[in-house]
Structure 1
Amino acid sequence: MDFDLQWLLLGLPLAFAFGWLASRLDLRQWKREQKDSPKAYYKGLNLLLNDQHDKAIDAFIEAVQQDPDTSDLHFALGNLFRRRGEFERAVRVHEHLLNRADLPRTERDRAQHALAQDFMKAGLFDRAEAAYQALEGTAFDTEARLALLTLHERSRDWRAAVEVAQKLENRGTGSFAPRISHYWCEIALEADAKHQPDEADAALEHAREAAPQAARTLVLAGQRAARRGDHAQVLALWGVLMVAHPAAFNLVARDYAQSAIASGGIAAAIDRLRELYDRAPTMDLLEALALLDPAPAHQRTRLLEQLRSHPTLSVAKALITQTDAAAFDTAETKALGDAIGRAAKPLHRYRCAACGFEAQHYFWQCPGCLNWDSYPPQRLEDL
């Protein structure tokens, strides 16, 4: 059978025409998709700015469906889910990004960081730790280490916190010496609770090496010496504290007085306390002086001085207690003292300077905002 060249000449233009038409249709569809996708994206962004999160999520889902390869839309959607507390959906979005083989390395690291944040917010600390550790050596390395430090503090894994803080300091992120000292102090307290004095001694030595003049190491060392009955060591350690951190000395003023009584150094202790009181008078120092010099006349004189210079409800109550019973009816005096005591009770608290969290006891780390050394070591009425 002979091949007719006429059909070939006729078919080539037709094939070219059909190819051209198909390409035009594909191009129009692509342009339409590109036009619709930004529209859905901007609609979602506008809804998000107007705090209409439910509608914004619907708009972003529509945009992702129209353009599933756009990673920015996935990140926006995942972050929205996390902010709303829908952590499982946020994890799915970011895990989907990580499973894409065509994702560039920078976007993959970004997705890993977002996934770690999802786990952290969801309280899945083990998975968050693994996700943050996978970011070592990436552009998110420092952020990941800081997050790991917070995670270890929350889980009270103090040795892991020491390791991360030292790495951050070695990288020039900042000085973490005070926090490292706190971590070792926490380790020492745990060792003491387990009756492991040698381990506690070693931890406290590490704390001193990290921050030699830190207030907490001196307080803790003195408390441990007091439990051993080494009151001379207590006076020596807290004598340094009195000079280096006079405000923090208020935390141990009464215990200092007890050790002075036990060691027979009452006169010297009175002189040192009186000198500190003249510079920075507080009720804690007055109570310590009362232990060392309990004479009613002397106590009344000190209270009157304090009431004139720094009038507080606690001083007023203490002065009423010291008043001679012949001057007032006992029942009236007691009732007046009780009323003043109830009014003064809220002022006996410590308040975090960072978040305002108040507590009856002093904390080296605020239970509210988890900041270290954010509590002034003086009660509200002495500030």
Structure 2
Amino acid sequence: MDFDFSWLLLSLPVAFVLGWLASRFDLRQLKLDNRQAPKAYFRGLNFLLNEQQDQAIDAFIEAVQNDPDTQELHFALGNLFRRRGEYQRAVRVHEHLLGRGDLSRADRERAQHALAQDFLRAGLLDRAEAALQKLEGTRYENESRLALLAIYERSREWAQAAAVAQKLDEADQASFTTRRAHHLCEQAADQLAAGDTLAADALLQQAVALAPEAPRPAIDSAVLLLRNGAAGEAFDVLAALSERAPLALPIYAATLQQAAVGAQRTGEALALLQRGYEQTPSIDVLEAIIALGGMPALPDDASTGTVPEPRDGYIAHLAHQPSLVAASRWLASETFAHEQFHPQVQRALDQATRPLMRYRCAACGFEAHQYFWHCPGCQAWDSYPPRRVEEL
């Protein structure tokens, strides 16, 4: 039987028409899908610009559902969740991105960084630490190290903090020398609390060698020397520090006075303290001078014509600057006509001056009666001026 080619000729146009119709249908559907995704995206962007975050999230979720392969939509959605405090949802978005096998290296590093930020904002420090450590060797390396340093300092893991600070120092992004010295001093304080004075001394010597201009290593070393009975060595350390860091004298004036008494070098200490007081009058330096039996020079109009007593140093201080603290200290040993009311008046003055004797962080304003090298409020280093609130 012969094959009829007429059917073949008729079927070719029919197949062509059907193929064309199918392609047109697919293209129309693809255009519709692509049209819907940008509309949702731009609608979400408009909501975001108008600070309508709830509506923006709904629009971005719709866009992600229409185009699940778009990384930028996932990042935008995750960042929105984090900003709203919905950290669990932000984590799910970024973990979903990391689970994709087709993600580029740059986007994978970006997703890992975003995930670490989610954990940090949520306060999940252990998980944040693990996520940040995976960023070593990436473009986010220095940023992740800074975040790790903050975590270790906040949790008082000083050995780990010192290791990270050393890496940052070696990267030449900024100088972390003084901060590393603080870490060594903190480790020394922990060793002292455990009763290991030898280990504490070794750590403090490292801190002094690392940051010879920083006041804390020298002050902590002098305190340890004084504790071990080496008052003369402690005095020498603080006397040398007074040349390098004269503005920090109020912090260690009391320790210097104790070392001078122990080493029987009160004359040297008085000369040093008075020289520092003349440059920057301070109630702490004044009281160290008074404790050694000295006093600043009285102004002519404050002279009583009698032999001045050490407590008259408070009057001399009032000539330099008005001070409720100095006035209260002077009045404490003064005799009045109605002496029976003196204790009540003195208690009221002491209560009024107590807030003035605090130290205040220059970064966050946190106040404390104790001087802190590391602010408990904002975690900043060296943010406390060495002067009391009244003297600022």
TM bucket normalised to smaller: over 0.9
Structure 1 counterpart of 2:150:
150
Inter-partner Cα distance in structure 1 for 2:311 and 2:202: 46
Structure 1 counterpart of 2:330:
319
Per-residue deviation, residues 138-168 of structure 1 (Å, max 9, x unmatched): 1111111111111211222212212211112
Cα distance 1:133–1:94, how it changes in 2: closer, same or farther (>3 A)?
Answer: same
Inter-partner Cα distance in structure 1 for 2:5 and 2:141: 69
Report the Cα offset of residue 202 of structure 1. Answer: 2.1
Inter-partner Cα distance in structure 2 for 1:20 and 1:184: 77
> In the TM superposition, what are the counterparts of 1:150-169 in structure 2 within 5 Å?
150-169=150-169
Whether contact under 8 Å (1:213, 1:244) holds in the other structure is yes
> In the TM superposition, what are the counterparts of 1:209-220 in structure 2 within 5 Å?
209-220=209-220
Cα distance 1:71–1:300, how it changes in 2: closer, same or farther (>3 A)?
Answer: same
Inter-partner Cα distance in structure 2 for 1:347 and 1:22: 84
Structure 2 counterpart of 1:352:
361
Q: How much identity, in percent, do the aligned residues show? A: 50
- The aligned amino acid for 2:359 is Y
Give 5+ residue unaligned stretches, structure 1: none
Report the Cα offset of residue 337 of structure 1. Answer: 2.7
The reply to whether residue 95 of structure 1 matches residue 95 of structure 2 is yes
Match of 1:304 among 315, 321, 330: 315
Whether contact under 8 Å (1:47, 1:55) holds in the other structure is yes
Report the Cα offset of residue 294 of structure 1. Answer: 7.5
Cα distance 1:158–1:359, how it changes in 2: closer, same or farther (>3 A)?
Answer: same
Inter-partner Cα distance in structure 1 for 2:101 and 2:284: 66
Structure 2 counterpart of 1:121:
121
TM-score (norm 1): 0.94
Give 5+ residue unaligned stretches, structure 2: 296-306
Whether contact under 8 Å (1:247, 1:378) holds in the other structure is no
Inter-partner Cα distance in structure 2 for 1:5 and 1:312: 116
Report the Cα offset of residue 356 of structure 1. Answer: 1.4
Structure 2 counterpart of 1:105:
105
Structure 1 counterpart of 2:19:
19
Whether contact under 8 Å (1:97, 1:108) holds in the other structure is yes
Whether contact under 8 Å (2:232, 2:262) holds in the other structure is no
- The aligned amino acid for 2:153 is E
The 3-state SS of whatever aligns with 1:304 is helix
> In the TM superposition, what are the counterparts of 1:217-236 in structure 2 within 5 Å?
217-236=217-236
The 3-state SS of whatever aligns with 1:374 is coil
TM-score (norm 2): 0.92
Whether contact under 8 Å (1:320, 1:333) holds in the other structure is no
- The aligned amino acid for 1:250 is P
- The aligned amino acid for 1:272 is L
Inter-partner Cα distance in structure 2 for 1:17 and 1:73: 39
Structure 1 counterpart of 2:343:
334
Inter-partner Cα distance in structure 2 for 1:356 and 1:195: 34
Structure 2 counterpart of 1:82:
82
- The aligned amino acid for 1:286 is L
Inter-partner Cα distance in structure 2 for 1:9 and 1:203: 95
Whether contact under 8 Å (1:270, 1:289) holds in the other structure is yes
Report the Cα offset of residue 258 of structure 1. Answer: 2.0
Match of 1:361 among 345, 360, 370: 370
Inter-partner Cα distance in structure 2 for 1:2 and 1:113: 73
Whether contact under 8 Å (2:41, 2:63) holds in the other structure is yes
Give the count of matched residue pairs. 381
Q: What is the Cα-based RMSD across aligned positions, in Å? A: 1.8
The 3-state SS of whatever aligns with 1:362 is coil
